Amino acid sequence: MDWGSLRHHAASLLLTQALWETPAGRAFIELLTALSQPDCEAHILLRAYGTWFRAMAETGLDWPAWVVDQVLYQDNALARSAGRNPTALPVPLMTAARHDLGRLQQLCQWQPAALSALVEQRTTSPVPIPPWLPPPHALPIELGADWAAAVPALVDHYRTHGTGDLARYAMLRWTAGRLEGVPDPDPVTLADLAAYGEQQRLLLQNTQILLDGRPALNVLLYGARGTGKSSLVKALVNTYSAQGLRLVEVAKAELRDLPRISAHLAHQPLKVILFVDDLSFEEDDEAFKALKVALEGSASGRPANLVVYATSNRRHLVREFFGDRPNPSQGEIHAWDTLQEKLSFSDRFGLTLTFEPPDQDTYLTIVEHLAQAAGLGMDRPTLYAQALQWATRRNGRSGRTARQFIDFLLGTRRADSQATDAAPLPDGGGRPSGASQTPLP
């Protein structure tokens, strides 16, 4: 194997150089550099191989699968152009893409066993050096015998799935000026939620309109704490991510970046919910002004693939004090205008969904739904009595309180089961009878 030629191939990439900015990519370049030097010292070559091996172990992928995975999900000029242009792409971009795929195919043709054997030979290692040989992974697109000919399939992938972390993850955060994928998102589903059926129906309807490419409304979900407002939004994404729905969570401190976020997402083929959780503002809050412009009033208009879903415990999102009320003898001349601006801010959301605190019947309905989903199998009177006792001792009736109650029952049941398994069985081999249930704390 001509390692110097492979190093040249790696350096000649035009669109996909970002491969070498990852830990595995940097380690591979260092390894190629060491291998291409006939007089490279043994400890340098061994360290380079070990660094690359550890980086690949972190990915869990074999080398060709890792290379293709990086190409599919990185944000490059071809991917961005594919999102903006539904038909033809610039010829230079297509030519560069064919060039890069051809070079990458060359970089994926060496055998891991041959590489480890060469390192062992070059370093006169007294012990065998294992190759990186995980089980082969199926590639997401069919590249065929000639990778350069697969550029149309690559473009189709970009147009369908988007680019970067937005293509890889269903839920993301905007952090420090960039999108960051959430690798382990909240797995809540619509089936996990009970009550508030009309609110679910309206939000589902609006989300389906977004997915269909029709004008969808910005939505404010407000009401009592613990009623499942945030869980409902996350459940939507878990349900429709395969249809191209994504969630980008934007913290209040990052709302000033909304114009940048919108510009970044505007040409993506995916539909995106900009999610702002637990929203409220103080007077003269810069985030208030930024969100107000994003909802209504920007000269550029809101991209058609974006909506804002915000949750709040307040119907009026800007805090108001009695001192804000107009006083003819002092203060601002047009004070009523200022007050109306505060009160009408929530009206900029096209759809407002109210989540009232659950009454006792609704609370018990939620508890029973969660208990059945968890397979608890408790009789209804006992379940209801303990659920009401739990709510009295905790934060009152809410969906969150119901979830905590069921989690407590599951945890104590497992603990009791483990204790019973560890205890000696009574004579006759049967389980102890009359065991009392763990009392509520």
Do 145 and 186 lie in one domain? The reply is no
For the segment 293-300, the average pLDDT, to the nearest whole number, is 60
What is the C-alpha to C-alpha distance for residues 179 and 92, in angstroms, rounded to an integer?
A: 28
Residue 42 counted as domain residue: yes
Highest mean pLDDT among 110-114, 277-281, 319-323, 386-390: 386-390
Highest mean pLDDT among 30-34, 155-159, 176-180, 353-357: 30-34
pLDDT over threshold 70, residue 426:
no
Contact between 248 and 279 (Cβ < 8 Å): no
pLDDT over threshold 70, residue 118:
yes
Residue 439 counted as domain residue: no
Do 229 and 301 lie in one domain? The reply is yes
- What pLDDT shows up at residue 50? 96
The residue range of the domain holding 156 is 3-165
pLDDT tens profile 187-204: 999 988 888 899 999 999
Highest mean pLDDT among 281-290, 310-319, 366-375: 366-375
- What pLDDT shows up at residue 314? 62
- What pLDDT shows up at residue 169? 93
Do 83 and 126 lie in one domain? The reply is yes
Highest mean pLDDT among 41-50, 80-89, 321-330: 41-50
What is the C-alpha to C-alpha distance for residues 168 and 272, in angstroms, rounded to an integer?
A: 14
Task: Give exposure, 66-79, as e/b (b: 16+ Cβ within 10 Å).
Answer: bbbbbbbbbbbebb
Looking at 140, 165, 190, the residue that finishes a domain is 165
Measured in degrees and rounded to the nearest 5, phi and psi for residue 52 equal -65, -40
Residue type, 114: A
Do 183 and 310 lie in one domain? The reply is yes
Q: How far is CA 233 from CA 142, 229, 248, 262, 311, in A?
A: 35, 7, 11, 19, 9
Enumerate the β-bridge partners of residue 310.
220, 276
Residue 426 counted as domain residue: no
- The CATH code of the domain that includes 218 is 3.40.50.300
For the segment 336-345, the average pLDDT, to the nearest whole number, is 47
Do 148 and 282 lie in one domain? The reply is no
pTM over 0.85: no
Enumerate the β-bridge partners of residue 307.
273
Do 280 and 373 lie in one domain? The reply is no
SS3 182: coil
Do 343 and 399 lie in one domain? The reply is no
Burial of 324 (0-12, 13-18, 19+ CB in 10 A): middle
Contact between 271 and 305 (Cβ < 8 Å): yes
| Residue 87: band (very low, low, confident or very high) from pLDDT cuts 50, 70, 90 | confident
- What pLDDT shows up at residue 316? 52
Q: Sign of the C-alpha dihedral, residues 398, 404, 405, 407?
A: positive
What is the C-alpha to C-alpha distance for residues 205 and 52, in angstroms, rounded to an integer?
A: 49
Residue 328 counted as domain residue: no
Do 154 and 74 lie in one domain? The reply is yes
User: Mean pLDDT, the chain, as a whole number?
Assistant: 83
- What pLDDT shows up at residue 298? 52
Residue type, 436: S
Q: How far is CA 292 from CA 89, 121, 278, in A?
A: 36, 66, 16
283's tokens: 């007077």
Do 214 and 201 lie in one domain? The reply is yes
- What pLDDT shows up at residue 360? 92
pLDDT over threshold 90, residue 27:
yes
What is the C-alpha to C-alpha distance for residues 253 and 279, in angstroms, rounded to an integer?
A: 11
Contact between 180 and 172 (Cβ < 8 Å): yes
- What pLDDT shows up at residue 49? 96
Give 118's contacts (C-beta < 8 A, 6+ positions apart): 1, 35
pLDDT over threshold 60, residue 438:
no
| Residue 286: band (very low, low, confident or very high) from pLDDT cuts 50, 70, 90 | low
Opening angle at CA 383, ends 377 and 385, nearest 5? 165
pLDDT over threshold 60, residue 420:
no
Looking at 105, 130, 165, the residue that finishes a domain is 165
Do 160 and 82 lie in one domain? The reply is yes
**Beta-sheet strands, E only, within 151-264:** 171-175, 178-181, 219-223, 245-249
Residue 170 CA, distance from chain mean position:
4
| Residue 253: band (very low, low, confident or very high) from pLDDT cuts 50, 70, 90 | confident
pLDDT over threshold 60, residue 81:
yes
What total number of domains does the chain contain? 3
Do 224 and 296 lie in one domain? The reply is yes
| Residue 239: band (very low, low, confident or very high) from pLDDT cuts 50, 70, 90 | very high
